[in-house]
Structure 1
């Protein structure tokens, strides 16, 4: 079958255009061709290509051609980039339903409603998308990203910008960015009279790209912090590094105080200001995140207690409760979802 519907409505703003795009495709080549026009060349594979029910709807912003929208494939697919398939944009996606998994340098990263992924150009990687995955998709052209980075640094850059691929969608700066991206995507559909105006949308697009560069760790983050004076006090760097290095040990607040070399009051004040939580809450979240990552890599339910105890959780009932509070699922549910994915045929 060929495509059922393919459309593009254009809203003019003087000499610029606000493009509202949508497509339904029922063949692998058609789906790949449509997304190649948005993200650049890529490989697309499906074990059951006859089940493709691709749908994409979104908007292309007028100033720097950033595309925001929603996409789904209707069957399990794997997208490959790198080598002869080099994207011409940075592709970011966050599942609103279902899951996907990024395989990069032998490391697999699960992406669900709590964790998005960003695919940087110039790097070999594969993204496996579940047939039930409906996701928010943002594509930012390389040129737009480089231009914005150079504006922030106030100098030309030669080394490509590369992001850490995993993006937290629950807490912190990256989560705030995802909320901003989703709000903008939805408002582009609802408020055309406002968002169709170049002078307004241009600033929104610039803010979106700047927000990503500043919120998501990348190979320019240290220079940006120095340039923009977003620098942690030395005592917080000592405390943070100490927590990371000794998180598996039986740490106390006094241990962190000694490592930081400051009073408890100042330590709490600094953590609240820069991390939004107390030192011990920071430690707990760091441990829980580490346990989750090991579970995703280990994929064995019988090792849950072993991994948890190795990260300092001696009360397993309390650990399971805190894990569920942070990730909205129990550790065993994490494993079950992974086993369900492993049982699928790609």
Structure 2
């Protein structure tokens, strides 16, 4: 374990505990389809609830099962939550590629193992779960964490607006926001700002008003994403540090839209170029210059992501072979190998997790 943790009496730890109290008040005021307060003493029910809100995983209770209790309070249209276990718990999580999860330790202790590093810490520890990196977490019996979930599609879109290019590969973030750093303090400020807007309004005109209008929520989410992209270490930071490139031309964006809409069809390069209104040579040059890959490589990435989404839905979408063939992967052995290199597990393992 490296030194990403915090002293229990540090200023950051104290502020994290106060942040937890603010979150309790703010989340208690929330209502809606994607909000709620769930309490259960059944590990299976707890695991199912975590799957619905986050990612596929394996959960292991550390300690007497009879002492198990989980409380999950969710608000802000499902993007913010407080999670607490009354017993020690180990979670082995599988990424979905759909969101980034930034966690602030409010109380107790966590140990985190990622492909990049391992670390641990108490109140104030901040962890960034990248969208495609498996992670194993162990929590103490009194551990409570505040989660902020950010959609990867919106994050990639903001990255492209800032740099003029889509990420050349999936963005991977350093898994720990180190304590007593400027980024640590800034992230606490962002979360506190979100909570202040989430808390119930006061005054004679507050009755019946939503705590967070959709427009304000989107702006706050973008502020949080901008903070991550500009203030925290990630795989696309070098490109962001350079001079912003020109936006991708219209024919590249048109080709991408066409491929997403027709990913299940046996598309050829000529068909994609025709849909984009340019020659094959122009289309290929555009993708090389603005996407750092060929159009067909981009199509393969789109299909791989679609296949993973189907596998995460479970057997109702078919078996591994059915799903692979549905998305144009005729060579099942190659599909399984490419899938494992990208997601850290086999297609069958993803299907079984559901």
TM-score bracket, normalised by the shorter chain, equals 0.5 to 0.7
- Number of equivalent positions: 210
Matched residue of 1:9: which SS? Answer: coil
What do the CA deviations read for 1:90-128 (whole angstroms, capped 9, x no partner)?
Answer: 222111111101012384201322321111132232111
Give the aligned partner of residue 42 of structure 1: 57
Matched residue of 2:242: which SS? Answer: helix
Tell me if 1:113 matches 2:145.
no
Distance 1:73 1:160, change over 3 A: same
Kept after mapping to 1: 8 A contact 2:115/2:133: no
**Aligned-residue offset at 1:131:** 1.2
CA distance in 1, matches of 2:101, 2:229: 13
Structure 2 spans left out of the alignment, 5+ residues: 1-28, 246-354
Give the aligned partner of residue 239 of structure 2: 223
**Aligned-residue offset at 1:77:** 0.6
Kept after mapping to 2: 8 A contact 1:91/1:140: yes
CA distance in 2, matches of 1:194, 1:90: 25
Give the aligned partner of residue 305 of structure 1: none
Aligned residues: CA RMSD: 2.7
**Aligned-residue offset at 1:219:** 0.5
Normalised by the size of structure 1, how large is the TM-score?
Answer: 0.55
Give the aligned partner of residue 157 of structure 2: 147
CA distance in 2, matches of 1:217, 1:144: 18
| Larger strand percent | 1
Structure 1 spans left out of the alignment, 5+ residues: 1-6, 11-16, 230-346
Give the aligned partner of residue 248 of structure 2: none
Matched residue of 1:184: which SS? Answer: helix
What do the CA deviations read for 1:142-177 (whole angstroms, capped 9, x no partner)?
Answer: 223222222222222341110000112433123211
CA distance in 1, matches of 2:141, 2:62: 11
**Residues 1-346 of structure 1 mapped to structure 2, 5 A cutoff:** 9-10=31-32, 19-48=34-63, 49-61=65-77, 67-82=79-94, 86=96, 88-105=98-115, 107-191=117-201, 193=209, 195-227=211-243
Higher relative contact order (CA 8 A, sep 6+): 2
CA distance in 2, matches of 1:112, 1:178: 15
Kept after mapping to 2: 8 A contact 1:42/1:87: no
CA distance in 1, matches of 2:179, 2:149: 17
Give the aligned partner of residue 14 of structure 2: none
CA distance in 1, matches of 2:110, 2:97: 19
Distance 1:187 1:168, change over 3 A: farther
Kept after mapping to 2: 8 A contact 1:152/1:224: yes
CA distance in 2, matches of 1:198, 1:130: 36
CA distance in 1, matches of 2:193, 2:66: 34
